[in-house]
């Protein structure tokens, strides 16, 4: 087989650790960055990143996580320019890609209810997305996944939080997730 050139290796490594954004997303990130800058330096102090990103994405992003990312990308730098900001977001998104895919799948099944952190998977909704199941099989799946609440819904429904637990906890116990 042929070997990679150094440039090809760098491109492959970049793809592995960074999320590639479409131009519209990059423009959106530039706008978020520009709105966050409060002085004429054209940079953002790294201590402000958590608040800026948490506000922008409506999700708490810990200061500790961003500090690790800043150390990874910026070394001892205290201020982040637009390019580094976009790179940090790209890395953050790649790190949480599995969570995003899970969220998208749940949203497909539960609809927009999942955005508010609630919603319930019912037998009817499960059968809409898995038409090969019988009603009895759908009820059994929901009952088995409702272990956290000891079958509280008796196989008729599964709350959003319980759905997340049913999907994520077995993989954490098996050591699949490292976060």
Encode the chain (179 residues) as per-residue pLDDT tens digits. Answer: 689 999 999 999 988 999 888 899 899 999 999 999 888 888 988 778 888 888 877 677 777 777 787 777 666 677 889 998 898 889 888 988 887 787 777 777 776 555 455 678 888 888 988 889 999 998 888 888 887 777 676 778 888 777 777 777 655 555 554 44
Residue 52 DSSP one-character state: H
Of 100, 75, 74, 79, give the one whose Cα is nearest residue 21.
Answer: 100
Report the phi/psi class of residue 40: left, alpha or beta, with left for phi > 0 and alpha for psi in -120 to 50: alpha
- The whole-model pTM stands at 0.62
Biggest CA–CA distance in the chain, Å, is 64
Q: Which two tokens stand for residue 108?
A: 């497909």
- CB count within 10 Å of CB 85 equals 24
Q: Taking a C-beta distance cutoff of 8 angstroms, is the pair 155, 139 a contact?
A: yes
């Amino acid at each position: 087989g042929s070997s990679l050139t150094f440039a090809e290796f760098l491109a492959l490594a970049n793809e592995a650790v960074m999320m590639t954004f479409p131009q519209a997303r990059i423009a959106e990130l530039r706008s978020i960055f520009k709105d966050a800058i409060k002085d004429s330096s054209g940079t953002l102090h790294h201590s402000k990143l958590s608040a800026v990103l948490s506000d922008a994405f409506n999700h708490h992003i810990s200061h500790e996580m961003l500090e690790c990312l800043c150390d990874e990308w910026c070394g001892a730098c205290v201020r982040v320019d637009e390019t580094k900001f976009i790179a940090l977001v790209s890395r953050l998104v790649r790190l949480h890609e599995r969570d995003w895919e899970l969220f998208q799948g749940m949203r497909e099944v539960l609809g927009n209810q999942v955005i508010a952190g609630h919603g319930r998977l019912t037998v009817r909704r499960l059968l809409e997305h898995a038409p090969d199941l019988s009603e009895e099989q759908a009820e059994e799946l929901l009952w088995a996944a409702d272990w956290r609440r000891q079958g509280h819904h008796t196989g008729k429904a599964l709350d959003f939080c319980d759905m997340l637990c049913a999907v994520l906890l077995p993989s954490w116990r098996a050591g699949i997730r490292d976060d």
